Amino acid sequence: MRKKIIAANWKMYKTPAEAREFMEKFVPLVAGHERDEIVICPPYVDIAAVVDGAKGTNIKVGAQDVYWEKEGAYTGQISPAMVVGAGCEFVIIGHSERRQYFGETDDTVNRRLEVALEAGLRPILCVGEVLEEREANITEDVLRRQCSRAFRGIGSNKAAKLSIAYEPVWAIGTGKTATPKIAADAHSIIREEAAHAFGGEFAQKLRILYGGSVKPENASELMAQEEIDGALVGGASLKPDSFAKIVKW
Ligand code: 13P
């Protein structure tokens, strides 16, 4: 059995004061919850507040992205060492919103993934097809391409800390959720690609999360699927009681 990871992606929501307030309410709601790993990925400026609020709990913290250079004249960028130093254990890499709005490509995803792993972070690599790709029946090609390019040049010894999130873009923030069958099919394609790149044993242990309109109402049905090893939650992770219900699916 793979321990599930229930991760919040706060995207561009919450000030540090709002992050602190969330933690005050959320921490008691999930106290003693050991069945799943709980992760919160806030905006960079909220990391300190979330790390502080998570002290003495089993809640882990992640960043939403990192740049691939160690340091230098790169105004506005954040390095893997910086987020590690700020108390992050996780980092999201290649989220579809970064691909859609900020020029992220399979190649830059690969560079970020490599440095994140080197820094000892636990990356959550995001892959997923857009609606036109699903309708054109090329979902499988898209997932295989996104995975194989992201994995390029990364040795199986380095990949141990990797997790993947399958986030069909048509399900993000739309209220449409992939059926358990759609998610399970995508997850097995991703697992095959991981086996191809890093070996069967690695692939069996790899956690593949589902993301896209996960809510308290649908979390248990999705999480009950053997192929689904957790959730990456956007909108429904912003309220303490709603995210706590998903954690306790
Ligand atoms: P929603 O849960 O708001 O659909 O967002 C999913 C997502 O993009 C998580 O990374």
pLDDT of 169 over the 90 cut: yes
d(CA 169, CA 182): 13
Contact 14/43 with Cβ under 8 angstroms? Answer: yes
Q: Is 232 in the pocket of ligand 1 (CB under 6 A)?
A: yes
Name the pairing type of β-strands 59-63 and 122-127.
unpaired
Q: Let me know the angle formed at the C-alpha of 215 by 183 and 94, rounded to the nearest 5 degrees.
A: 55
The beta strand positions in the chain, using DSSP E, are 5-9, 37-41, 59-63, 90-93, 122-127, 163-166, 208-211, 230-233
pLDDT of 120 over the 90 cut: yes
Q: Is 231 in the pocket of ligand 1 (CB under 6 A)?
A: no
- How many domains does the chain divide into? 1
- State the pLDDT at residue 1: 83
User: What count of other Cβ atoms lies within 10 Å of the Cβ of residue 4?
Assistant: 19
d(CA 73, CA 182): 44
Contact 105/99 with Cβ under 8 angstroms? Answer: yes
- Helix, strand, or coil (residue 5): strand
Mutate to test the pocket of ligand 1, among 9, 40, 126, 131 (most ligand atoms within 8 A of CB): 9
Mean pLDDT score across all residues of the chain: 97
- H helix and E strand count, the chain: 11, 8
pLDDT of 105 over the 90 cut: yes
pLDDT of 150 over the 90 cut: yes
- State the pLDDT at residue 235: 97
Domain span holding position 162: 5-247
For the record, the structure tokens of 134 come out as 């699903």
Point out the residues that are catalytic: 95, 167
- Helix, strand, or coil (residue 210): strand
- State the pLDDT at residue 130: 96
pTM score of the predicted model = 0.97
pLDDT of 175 over the 90 cut: no
pLDDT in tens, 133-142: 999 999 999 9
pLDDT in tens, 186-234: 999 999 999 999 999 999 999 999 999 999 999 999 999 999 999 999 9
d(CA 156, CA 154): 7
d(CA 240, CA 18): 11
Residue closest via CA to ligand 1's atom 2 equals 234
Burial of 155: CB neighbours in 10 Å, binned 0-12, 13-18, 19+? exposed
Q: What percent of the chain has pLDDT over 90?
A: 96
Q: Provide the CATH number for the domain around residue 214.
A: 3.20.20.70
Distance (angstroms) between ligand 1 centre and the Cα of 73 equals: 32
User: What count of other Cβ atoms lies within 10 Å of the Cβ of residue 71?
Assistant: 10
pLDDT of 183 over the 90 cut: yes
* 206-216 core/surface letters (b: 16 or more CB in 10 A; e: else): bbbbbbbbbbb
- Helix H, strand E, coil C: the string for 100-116 is HHCCCCHHHHHHHHHHH
Determine the average pLDDT of the residues in 168-184. Answer: 92
